[in-house]
Amino acid sequence: MVRFATSLSKESIVDVEGVVSLPKETLKATTQQVEVQVRKIYCINRAIPTLPINLEDAARSEAEFEKAEQAGEKLVRVGQDTRLNYRAIDLRTPANQAIFRIQCQVENKFREFLLSKDFVGIHTPKLISGSSEGGAAVFKLLYNGQPACLAQSPQLYKQMAICGGYERVFEVGPVFRAENSNTHRHLCEFVGLDAEMEIKEHYFEVCDIIDGLFVSIFKHLTENCKKELETINRQYPFEPLQYLEKTLKLTYEEGIQMLKEAGTEIEPMGDLNTEAEKKLGRLVKEKYGTDFFILYRYPLAVRPFYTMPCYDNPAYTNSFDVFIRGEEIISGAQRIHTPELLAKRATECGIDVSTISAYIESFSYGAPPHGGFGVGLERVVMLFCALNNIRKTSMFPRDPQRLVP
């Protein structure tokens, strides 16, 4: 039996029959809590003798590699592409096991919290006739011979659900973006956590939902996922996220002013680039002691056509982005709810109104003021754990170069 057991390759699946006991005195110094005295062993599925990834190397932290190198040991770093090419093995590292358990908890809390606030879960089509966010970043296809595309977001449909009399809706589903962005934070397919709701008095009601939702997600992870977070921390060390009980809200202009005072000039009616966002994140952390904040009242020119202009100054909008550690995880806004203004804004943004006529018409049957937001699930997990690449938080990532596995 011993000869048979030693001939088994690593990662083979075995059934073992034996007696579980406490380790003998001599073994107490080991990390083992219990031992199994094997009586019978069966091989259910033998793994190939040499795996494409060495799991011990794949589970090491950068600090371990550096220490080993200083000691003259030769260890092989497992590159990101190799990991993703052999994901079914790579997923077995303790950190990867923890990451997708955390992801599941975030998604679950998102549903649980919104259900407790009377939101209804819906599903909108992913095969649609045109772009929902504007721009060229759509995957085109033929739908029974007609030009169609994969949905860039549930945006237009979640708004139509509000027109349909649902006061509050949410959706968890895939979002497709054909952008050729080879960055650490863009995917071509990601999981969108979306919500849309009627607004009674002010679009800050949407920000209040985000505030309650994310504070509850952060608390849940910190209190109930300690083991997973420690496991991730061992391989990818990170500082715990700092957040306030009441989420900080700054206007876009205040953000620009903070950057200006710190020596970064931003075009006041333009958008923040990644570098400026990160810098603002650092400045906010220094001044207010939080990694999580909302920036609101963005200029009209940088928001999608469906965004409600500010009543006091239409050069700005009733919109916001939400950041973790200086990177965007959410964008949201009040939406235009009158068909005339919607058609006008779509035309101004270069959208052919005939392609979205059913959407625009939905607002002519009586539609309440409403607003909502969209969250990128992979980004939330990546930034909560301060991981350096979104591919680490997508089980089988789709980026401009990758369609398999």
Give the catalytic positions in this structure.
Answer: 177, 179, 185-186, 328, 331, 379
Q: Which of residues 322-341 bind ligand 4AD (CB under 6 A)?
A: 328-333
Which ranges of 61-192 would DSSP assign to H, the alpha helix? 62-70, 80-85, 87-90, 94-116, 155-163
Q: Which of residues 80-109 bind ligand 4AD (CB under 6 A)?
A: none
Q: b/e per residue, 276-309, with b = 16+ CB within 10 A?
A: bbebbbebbbeeeebbbbbbbbbbbeebbbbbbb
Query: Is residue 229 a contact partner of residue 221, using CB atoms and an 8 Å limit?
Result: yes
Q: Report if residue 309 touches ligand 4AD, rule: CB under 6 A.
A: no
- In this structure, the strands spanning 120-121 and 168-176 are parallel
Nearer to ligand 4AD by Cβ, of 194 and 211: the residue is 194
For residue 147, list its beta bridge partners: 142
- Alpha-carbon distance of 357 to 364, in angstroms, equals 11
Pick the piece of the chain touching ligand 4AD (CB under 6 A) from 66-74, 87-95, 114-122, 185-193: 185-193
Q: Which of 373, 382, 387, 393 binds ligand 4AD (CB under 6 A)?
A: 373
Q: In a 10 Å sphere around its CB, with 0-12 CB exposed, 13-18 middle and 19+ buried, how is residue 26 labelled?
A: exposed
CB of 175 to ligand 4AD, least distance (A): 7
> Distance of CA 171 to CAs 168, 228, 330, 350, 377, Å?
11, 26, 14, 28, 12
Q: Which of residues 382-401 bind ligand 4AD (CB under 6 A)?
A: 390
Pick the piece of the chain touching ligand 4AD (CB under 6 A) from 28-36, 69-77, 184-192, 265-273: 184-192
Query: Is residue 42 a contact partner of residue 14, using CB atoms and an 8 Å limit?
Result: yes
Q: Which of 59, 130, 133, 266 binds ligand 4AD (CB under 6 A)?
A: 133
Q: Which of 190, 218, 293, 316 binds ligand 4AD (CB under 6 A)?
A: 190
Pick the piece of the chain touching ligand 4AD (CB under 6 A) from 81-89, 201-209, 351-359, 373-381: 373-381
Nearer to ligand 4AD by Cβ, of 57 and 271: the residue is 271
Residues that bind ligand 4AD (CB under 6 A): 133, 153, 155, 177, 179, 186-187, 190, 194, 328-333, 372-376, 378-379, 390
